[in-house]
Chains A and B, each alone.
Chain A
Amino acid sequence: MKKLVSLLLALILLCGCAALADAGIVTASGFPVVTEPITFTVMASQSAIQPDFSTMVIIPVYDEMTGIKIDWQCVASSVRSEKISAAVTSSEMPDIFFKCNISAANLQKYGAQGAIVDLAPYLEEYAPNFWAYAQENPDVLAAVTTPDGQIYSLPAIADAPATRMNKKLYYNKVWMDKLGLEQPTTLDELYDFLYAMRYNDPNGNGEIDEVPMSETTGTLFQVFGGLFGVGNRGTHSSYYDMDTETGMVRYSYTSDAFRECLEFMHKCYEEGLIDQECITAKDSRYTALAAQDQLGCYFATNLALLAAKDAENFVPAEGWIEGAVWPTMRSHLHSVGAFVVTSKCENVEAALRWVDYFYTDEGVTFYHYGIEGQTYVKNEDGSLSFTPEILAQVTGDKSYDEVVSQVGPYCGGNNPTMMSWPGYAGAELSPIPMASAEAILPYTPDVIWPIFTYTDEELKIVNSTGSDLNTYAKKTAVEFLTGERELNDEEWSAFLAQCDEMGVAQMLEVMEGVIDRVEAIMGTR
């Protein structure tokens, strides 16, 4: 064992030296990536159902293509964060962190300590595909760039609308047919639609046990807020958006529009059109409601959580309420920290060239589905699926994810690649979620703020004043929703006064600065 380790170390050292001696071994474009073989040690986050990465089908193939040998150090995703901070603290860092989902705050911290490399100077030349995508979709660039202008990671990108819309809408077709309902397109129609579902006994058991709409309060506030123009900067920013009249950043929960929204929601809640138990609702509840034929509208990214026979009842939305916003839309950035190069790496250029292929359409397909004919086939409608031989291995003991993990490393998320049609292999790209996303897409905000990165000073305020304010505002909004607190002028101004006291003004000032910075990169201001 010891011998093996020292041999390995020697090998790494040798490769390192070789790379140092000749940085010019990196080719300009295409494959192979390097003219002389080199090795990288890569720490990868491995979920419980994944095998060792080196045994996956695409790995040796890619080693061959690039000329770069990867020495995989797989760490269980459950202990990933401890392993990463231990690695960063000690000097025994890998060359690359892969799929490790390192948070923006930690990236900044590690970067400030010099443990990881600022990729910004290299990207244009050595990651041209990613760079081109980021130029076209500056929200990606805005999210990976720190306040000081460094870029410490390549992200997981969500490209297809269906992968960006984290909540889509599906209606219970069986109920609609029974009641002769059309999909609602105005606010009044929406109310009547939900009302009919509640009181006209569509499940035919003679009891008023139908739940027209169930979701967490967070999602409900987003969806209903959108009806009144609140949440017009996307799903990452659920407490701040843009006041379209003044063009200023506003705190969504204290806006007049949100008060209107709460009044409407309270009316729906009181009549039982919104789940009475939405305060404790979670995924298992909607699954159970659907199974008992008690659910009218279903919000989810796909239908995978419903039993197959229940999922058949639901059809995708064909649109949404006129003039409304659909706020549950991500930026093109799914998550940061998917590919991070450490200061141990002797050849940053080669590392970037290695990963950049995954940001091409061809590379996306390779990353998720592997090799045509061998691991996947093309379907008539242009979509892809794994070969019947692979899918046949899915049995009672072996899940789909477990089986396809023999091909490539995508399961578990946070992949340095793109979720794009048709190469991405997630359930979002199945026909029903795709249709729902397509139909709702016109209602999504034009500008979507990415997940923000903060300076140390900003972060302190955001984490104390900001999170405290959000907790209070959300709590009070729920009280207004359920009628625990009556929504009248007096209570509303008491709520506003309390928010003021808790520091709305200070938060708006901070967010104004953050958003200015982000929008400058995005070119929207």
Chain B
Amino acid sequence: MLKSIQRSGRKYWDLYLLLIPTAVYFVIFKYLPMIGLQIAFRDYMPRLGYWDSPWLGLDYFRRFFSFYSSWRIILNTLTLSALNLLFTFPLPILLALLLNEMRAAGYKKLIQTVTYAPHFLSTVVIVGMITAFCSPSSGVVNSIIKIFGGEPIYFMAKREWFRPLYVISEVWSTMGWNSIIFLSALTGVDQQMYEAARIDGASRWQTLWRITLPSILPTISIMLIINCGHVMSLGFEKVYLMQTDLNIDVSRVISTFVYEQGILATQTSYASAIGLMNSLVNFILVISVNWISKKLSEVSLW
């Protein structure tokens, strides 16, 4: 083992050299800061520092789980994430497949540009747009509802509309961008297979099912595994900005709770503990999804 490392080290030293900056980056910016994670177990006082603040063990975790609303917050996080994944994951694949089948190059480019564009808008702008579009008095959505004789709906104040609004806007803003990786996978599919299929008399539908999809399946699996790693970490800004008094029941998630406790109430240690727990769940999810994927399709991250 050691010997083989030595041998490859001598042989490919230039490649290893190229690896160093990235490795250094990860050590400095990702691993060293983990020393600070211990404040989740301590009563952190800046002056005493990470090592000398009094040790509290699992106090903060106990406190979180004995907190009245903790389960509701966890449940909200999971529901919103699952819904989000359910829609924002398959739709880019669908879009990529559609674009791939498209023959008119100019139109295809147009569609691509239009669907990418929202990716570059900041969350604050997107939420501002949602609020403006959904306003019961002046919003465009309600104007349309009124034209068809319906009653205007105050979307932002309805608990049942929070999740749909979140997911729809998320799909709108990420679909085009996320389809890029699938499009690039599609260009890698061997054209000879399509030709062979056509000669054998396969319809377009059949080539899609039998050739295109299986060819990009590894990419899809990998992307799914990576996405599962983010299940618990919903974007904080968007949920927080969309929160109103009336949807608070469903819009209070772990990340907004961490903000409330850590930043607004300056309980750094408590917030870190909740954040740490959150990351732990993500970590377990990635590992297990990776393991399942390995068993089922022999595709995995490692």
Contacts and interface: CB of A to CB of B under 8 A. Distances in A.
Interface of A: 85, 88-89, 103, 105-106, 109-110, 112-115, 209, 217, 276-277, 279-280, 460, 463-465, 467-468, 471, 474-475, 478-479, 482, 484, 502-503
Contact of B135 (A103, A106, A277, A502): A277
Given A276-B137, A279-B154, A482 B68 contact: no
Nearest to A86: B46
Nearest to A116: B47
B136 interface: yes
B294 interface: no
Contact of A280 (B63, B68, B157, B249): B157
The 3 closest A-B pairs by CB, nearest first: A113-B47, A478-B245, A89-B46
Given A276-B137, A279-B154, A110 B249 contact: no
- Residue with the greatest number of chain B CB neighbours at <10 A, chosen from A112, A114, A474, A475: A475
A482 B48 contact: no
Contacts of A88: 46-47
A475 B63 contact: no
B26 to A, nearest CB: 23
B135 A112 contact: no
A109 B245 contact: no
A479 B47 contact: no
Q: Binding site of A, secondary structure by majority: helix, strand, loop or mixed?
A: helix
A450 B137 CA distance: 39
A109 B45 contact: yes
Nearest to B49: A89
A216 to B, nearest CB: 9
Contacts of A112: 45
10 contacts: A105-B266, A106-B266, A113-B48, A217-B245, A277-B137, A279-B246, A463-B267, A471-B248, A478-B246, A484-B246
A468 B157 contact: no
Contacts of A89: 46-47, 49
Contacts of B135: 277, 280
B265 interface: yes
Category for how many chain B residues contact A = 20 to 34
Given A280-B135, A463-B267, A484-B157, 10 more contacts: A105-B265, A105-B266, A113-B47, A277-B136, A279-B157, A464-B63, A465-B68, A468-B69, A474-B245, A475-B248
Contacts of A478: 245-246
B261 interface: yes
Contact of A276 (B63, B136, B245): B136
Contacts of A115: 47
Contacts of A280: 131, 135, 156-157, 244
Contacts of A105: 265-266
Contact of A279 (B47, B244, B249, B267): B244
B209 interface: no
Contact of B67 (A277, A279, A468, A471): A468
A209 B138 CA distance: 11
B260 interface: yes
B154 A463 contact: no
Contacts of B252: 471
Contacts of A277: 135-137, 154
Contacts of B69: 468
A115 B267 CA distance: 19
B142 to A, nearest CB: 11
A109 B246 CA distance: 35
Nearest to A502: B68
B192 to A, nearest CB: 57
A115 B260 CA distance: 26
A464 B66 CA distance: 10
